[in-house]
DNA sequence: CTAGTCCTCGTACGGTGTACGACGGCTGCT
DNA sequence: AGCAGCCGTCGTACACCGTACGAGGACTAG
């Protein structure tokens, strides 16, 4: 509980392992350590539990000590987001672009399901190192579909958007889950019931919403996810728009090698300027 | 500023206009009025500004008065979300399902852009009256594609998910906007630059991320939205999966009529029980 | 006139993010 | 050796948050 154990989200954002604080650094609080401790907290008790006081306590330091290593709580969230993204980079990218995109999408979705707090941080626009590595990976796949870089970005974003939107809905719906359902571990289909709200029938009846009514009598469940199917449709559309992109990659560019480290370079060993500076 | 003016999001959630407090009700604080005032606050100063104290002050009542009409702050957010959803219901649904779905999607997206706070509330799973009306509208369109209700839901959700994900990314990226850009009012394409973060080049260079590098030298902008294109791909995929669903609706069912009101029925004229009850 | 219900709201408690400044220990210069 | 100055830590204080509790006014029904 007190001592933050190792990975929690992945192998520490793709850095070379076993790497204490930088040689010249006198502090033991690396940005990474902060992020991992915060993630541990969020995993255990939700994003709301990640307060500066709680985090400091879990690290065994004074609250204000954190502010030496981090400008804001926002910056802390950025660190968490970066660490989260590092958790689902692919080790090697499948040759076929369709399976590659599917694989990437599945990984994000799984990560979100394992760390639901991440959706509350996903709004964060920060382009951290892992976000860049992540984009690079996406781009590697997209370049097998088209040579137009703008089109590559459109493809990437459309897939990523669908995943985020879908996962967001799934997780938000998870609140009212049918307790009878087996709810299989982490695969597809966390299917909540149709009537979570009291007064549902009254409203549906009085408003004459025939479609909903028949859905209800048919015993249908709202919020069936079927993530895979939606992704399939989208990929179908993309494929149709880019005929002749099916087989092997036209020009092989090796994936980004996880070369040593530059992860925290911009953020280490310097006093944190106030926001205006 | 103090007195919350009229619509702010739409014609008050589809209710008959000019309708003071219910006859037997002694209070002037309807759920609707609360929601509208909160929305006004959020529009003006962001979701963070919507605190119980601020809201109460803007309504000219004591803070704790709100808790008679609302159990939680969460319930207040539910009311805001419901009101928000009421703002983009279609008045009449185009006959062609593709243009209908496109129209619905565009409306949500516009609403989100006009009320960015709504994305912070979109996680809310509550099935309020307007959410139901909204689903009904969606279902009306989807029933022209397939008769399988489960498939209808899958279609609806995939479209909705894409819109939410896309808008979420767009708005979060809006933070670092290129100030040179004309930024045309509210149409497509709020295109932020590629380098919002300092240290970008250093990371890209040191990590050998060739795709990103070339994207950068090509002057490409990350985060180009192209919402329409992504939606088009998805609809293409859906269309391909359901051949022969193109022309007119097979069996005409009139859209849900905005019959009188039942909006706040379940929530009016009763003390608010504590959460457990 | 009285009992009861509806509605309002002042006070207080425990939480939050963080500005400010004090303080000890280490480094490097003279 | 002495001393200046930075690095890293952190106690205190402030404004703000959501909301539990209960007092009390206004109105209605009997």
Q: Which helix (H) or strand (E) holds A227?
A: helix A227-241
Same domain? For A35 and A137 the reply is no
Residue B207: closest CA among A122, A32, A16: A16
Same domain? For A79 and A164 the reply is no
Check whether B156 has a pLDDT greater than 80.
yes
- pLDDT for residue A150: 87
Confidence of residue A258 (pLDDT cuts 50, 70, 90): very low
Q: How many Å separate Cα A2 from the centre of its chain?
A: 26
Q: Is A265 on the interface with B (CB under 8 A)?
A: yes
> Of how many residues is chain B composed?
277
pLDDT digits (tens, 9 = 90+) for A111-148: 999 999 999 998 887 888 899 899 999 999 999 999 98
Question: Read out DSSP for B15-32?
Answer: PPSS--S-TT---S--HH
Same domain? For B51 and B118 the reply is no
What is the mean pLDDT of the segment spanning B161-186? 65
What CATH number should be reported for the domain holding residue A205?
1.10.357.10
Q: Is B127 on the interface with A (CB under 8 A)?
A: yes
Residue B163 lies in a domain: yes
What is the mean pLDDT of the segment spanning B3-25? 37
Check whether B230 has a pLDDT greater than 60.
yes
CA distances from B114 to B16, B43, B110, B119, B178 (A): 24, 8, 6, 11, 20
Pick the last residue of a domain from A39, A65, A87. A87
CA of A54 to C1' of C13 (A): 19
Same domain? For B106 and B131 the reply is yes
Number of neighbours of residue B10 by Cβ within 10 angstroms: 16
Residue A19 lies in a domain: no
What CATH number should be reported for the domain holding residue A68?
1.10.10.60
Pick the last residue of a domain from B68, B87, B106. B87
Same domain? For B7 and B67 the reply is yes
A217 or B81, greater pLDDT: B81
CA A68 – CA A60 distance, rounded (Å): 15
How many angstroms separate the CA of residue A183 from the nearest CA in chain B? 18
Pick the last residue of a domain from A87, A109, A124. A87
CA B102 – CA B231 distance, rounded (Å): 8
Same domain? For A217 and A114 the reply is yes
Residue A167 lies in a domain: yes
CA of A3 to C1' of D7 (A): 25
- pLDDT for residue A212: 83
Q: Is A3 on the interface with B (CB under 8 A)?
A: no
Check whether A86 has a pLDDT greater than 90.
yes
Q: Name every residue whose Cβ is closer than 8 Å to that of residue A42 and which is 6 or more positions away in sequence.
A: A49, A50, A80, A115, A117
Average pLDDT, chain B: 76
What is the mean pLDDT of the segment spanning A193-222? 68
pLDDT digits (tens, 9 = 90+) for A39-70: 999 999 999 999 999 999 999 999 999 999 99
Residue B185 lies in a domain: no
Q: Hey, are the CB atoms on B212 and A265 less than 8 Å from each other?
A: no
B179 or A275, greater pLDDT: A275
Average pLDDT, chain A: 76
Question: How many structural domains comprise chain A?
Answer: 2
Which of A200-209, B19-28, B255-264 has the least mean pLDDT?
Answer: B255-264
Q: Hey, are the CB atoms on A161 and B166 less than 8 Å from each other?
A: yes
Structural domain span for residue B212: 191-222
Q: Hey, are the CB atoms on A157 and B169 less than 8 Å from each other?
A: yes
Same domain? For B172 and B240 the reply is yes
Same domain? For A154 and A211 the reply is yes
Residue A190 lies in a domain: no
Q: What's the DSSP call for residue A252?
A: -
CA A101 – CA A103 distance, rounded (Å): 5
| Sequence-separated contacts (24+) of A270-275 with Cβ below 8 Å | A271/A68, A272/A67, A272/A68, A272/A69, A272/A70, A272/A71, A273/A71, A274/A71, A275/A71, A275/A72
Q: Which helix (H) or strand (E) holds A238?
A: helix A227-241
pLDDT digits (tens, 9 = 90+) for A211-246: 888 877 776 665 555 799 999 999 999 999 999 776
Q: Is the CB of residue B275 inside 7 Å of nucleic acid strand C?
A: no
pLDDT digits (tens, 9 = 90+) for B89-142: 999 999 999 999 999 999 999 999 999 999 999 888 788 889 989 999 999 999
Which of A55-64, A126-135, A251-260, B243-252 has the least mean pLDDT?
Answer: A251-260
Same domain? For B130 and B152 the reply is yes
For chain B, first and last CA: distance in Å?
Answer: 37
Residue B78 lies in a domain: yes
Q: Name every residue whose Cβ is closer than 8 Å to that of residue A135 and which is 6 or more positions away in sequence.
A: A156, B209, B211, B212, B222
Same domain? For A43 and A72 the reply is yes
Same domain? For A152 and A163 the reply is yes
Residue B57 lies in a domain: yes
Which of A137-151, A152-166, B36-50, B260-274 has the least mean pLDDT?
Answer: B260-274
Q: Tell me phi and psi for residue B232, to 5 degrees.
A: -60, -45
CA B108 – CA A241 distance, rounded (Å): 26
Residue B173 lies in a domain: yes
Same domain? For A231 and A103 the reply is yes
């Amino acid at each position: 509980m007190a001592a933050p154990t190792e990975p929690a989200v992945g192998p520490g954002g793709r850095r070379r392992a076993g790497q204490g604080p930088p040689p010249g650094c006198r502090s033991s609080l690396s940005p990474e350590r902060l992020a991992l401790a915060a993630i541990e907290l969020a995993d255990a008790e939700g994003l709301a539990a990640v307060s500066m006081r709680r985090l400091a306590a879990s690290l065994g330091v004074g609250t204000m000590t954190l502010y030496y290593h981090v400008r804001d709580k926002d910056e802390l969230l950025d660190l968490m987001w970066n660490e989260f993204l590092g958790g689902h980079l692919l080790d090697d990218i499948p040759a076929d672009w369709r399976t590659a995109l599917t694989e990437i999408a599945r990984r994000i979705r799984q990560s979100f399901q394992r760390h639901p707090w991440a959706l509350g941080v996903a709004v964060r626009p920060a382009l951290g190192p892992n976000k860049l590595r992540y984009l690079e990976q996406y781009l590697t796949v997209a370049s097998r579909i088209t040579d137009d870089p703008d089109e590559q970005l459109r493809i990437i974003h459309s897939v990523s958007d669908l995943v985020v939107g879908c996962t967001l809905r799934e997780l938000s719906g998870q609140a009212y889950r049918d307790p009878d359902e087996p709810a299989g571990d982490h695969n597809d289909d966390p299917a909540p019931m149709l009537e979570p709200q009291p007064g549902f029938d009254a409203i549906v009846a009085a408003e004459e919403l025939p479609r909903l009514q028949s859905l209800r009598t048919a015993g249908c469940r709202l919020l069936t996810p079927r993530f895979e199917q939606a992704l399939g449709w989208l990929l179908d559309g993309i494929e149709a728009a880019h005929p002749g992109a099916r087989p092997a990659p036209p020009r092989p560019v090796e994936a980004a090698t996880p070369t040593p480290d530059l992860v925290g370079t911009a953020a280490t060993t310097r006093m944190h300027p106030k926001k205006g500076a």
